[in-house]
Amino acid sequence: MGAGHDQPAQTLAEQLRAENPGAEIITEDALAAIGGIVKAMSADAPGIVFYRFQLAWDVGFWLFAECPPTRRATQALLTRRSAPAILRLIASVHPDVIVSTYPNVTEVLGRLRRSGRLEIPVCSGITDLAALDYWASPGIDVHLVTHPESVPEVRRIAGTATEIHCVHGFTRPEFRIPLAAADARAALGLPAGGSIVLVSGGGWGVGDITGAVEEALALERVSQVVCLCGHNDSLRGRIASQFGGEPRVRVEGFTDRMPEWMAAADALIHSTCGLTVLEATMRGCAAISFGWGRGHIRKNDAALRRFGLAAVVGSRAELGQALQHALEQPRRPDPRFADLPSAASHVLAIAELRPAER
């Protein structure tokens, strides 16, 4: 479905193995198990809508998530369509605890728990900052959030008594280890001097990437613009062609070296919020949201502004000013993430209670 959902599952699995080597961790693609229209709408349609019919995503998000009557109807229909396949998948694995990192699946699991059709405890891994309907549900046993600012919204959706913990473990563990910018630049083959700007469209590679690169190049102090194209090979080829004669532009596909990129860069221009902005915050790399702002990203952008976590700009003219300002600021890693408990510790605590309950 996207790196913002797949990566948290992978990093949590690694953390669980590190904290309990004897634990058996099984990762399943619930959308593949569900199939049919649910998979088509959740996993297949975005590959078209995100690039060609962006207005449709705005309308769809309003219908499915923002309008209470249609949201409730959609959630009920989603559960009706998905529950049999999810219950069959769970029965085939027989887990002690379930962790969901995809919101549509989380909603179904929460409703199954509320109705008594599912006895196994469920944790929701929440990696967005806002727009958390579906991410949070009254039936979920434990909500694990990556942003402390998300807690009030989760509580509003899931109820005042719901258990919520702000944790680490959905991003790579290297983000918690300080890394000097000079060392990161040397490891990545980046210039030692000047400012480094990362431009990212997330795993999907969406947004006005060309505009972001051009605005960054307009600043003389920028010695390198690194364009992270995710899994979008078409975007990677297009950017390489457009800026092939510009030595200050470097084009990268999907990368597993984000801890180093964030340590090396002075600013990030990003289009889809999520974990990438969180990672920039942890490293103290100034983040700017620009170039997409559709559907759930629009609400996340509003939360970034409200909490002062990143600049949000709507035009290239604004972007140039915001980037100039960002590059003039000193790096300020966010200290709040240093002492957070691990997501794995909460998951294991629930799993260890299960045998005694049977």
CA distance 227 to 214: 11
pLDDT in tens, 71-98: 999 999 999 999 999 999 999 999 999 9
β-bridge partners, 198? 226, 268
Within this chain, do residues 129 and 167 fall inside the same structural domain, yes or no? yes
Within this chain, do residues 152 and 23 fall inside the same structural domain, yes or no? yes
Q: Which domain holds residue 27?
A: 3-173+338-357
Tell me the mean pLDDT in the region 186-191: 97
CA distance 83 to 297: 28
Q: Note the pLDDT of residue 203.
A: 77
Residue 171 tokens, joined: 């991003």
Within this chain, do residues 215 and 322 fall inside the same structural domain, yes or no? yes
CA distance 213 to 200: 10
Within this chain, do residues 122 and 246 fall inside the same structural domain, yes or no? no
β-bridge partners, 327? none
Kindly report the pTM of this predicted structure.
0.89
Q: Note the pLDDT of residue 59.
A: 82
Within this chain, do residues 222 and 310 fall inside the same structural domain, yes or no? yes
Q: Note the pLDDT of residue 43.
A: 60
Contacts of 327 (CB under 8 A, 6+ apart): 195, 197, 219, 221, 222, 266, 267, 286
- Between the alpha carbon of residue 299 and those of residues 46, 128, 356, the distances in Å are 18, 10, 42
Within this chain, do residues 188 and 166 fall inside the same structural domain, yes or no? no
Q: Note the pLDDT of residue 357.
A: 42
- Between the alpha carbon of residue 348 and those of residues 68, 135, 168, 357, the distances in Å are 35, 21, 14, 15
Total domains in the chain come to: 2
pLDDT in tens, 204-257: 778 899 999 999 999 999 999 999 998 888 899 999 999 988 999 999 998 989
- Between the alpha carbon of residue 277 and those of residues 88, 127, 137, 335, 358, the distances in Å are 36, 11, 24, 15, 42
* CATH number of the domain to which 305 belongs: 3.40.50.2000
Within this chain, do residues 9 and 129 fall inside the same structural domain, yes or no? yes
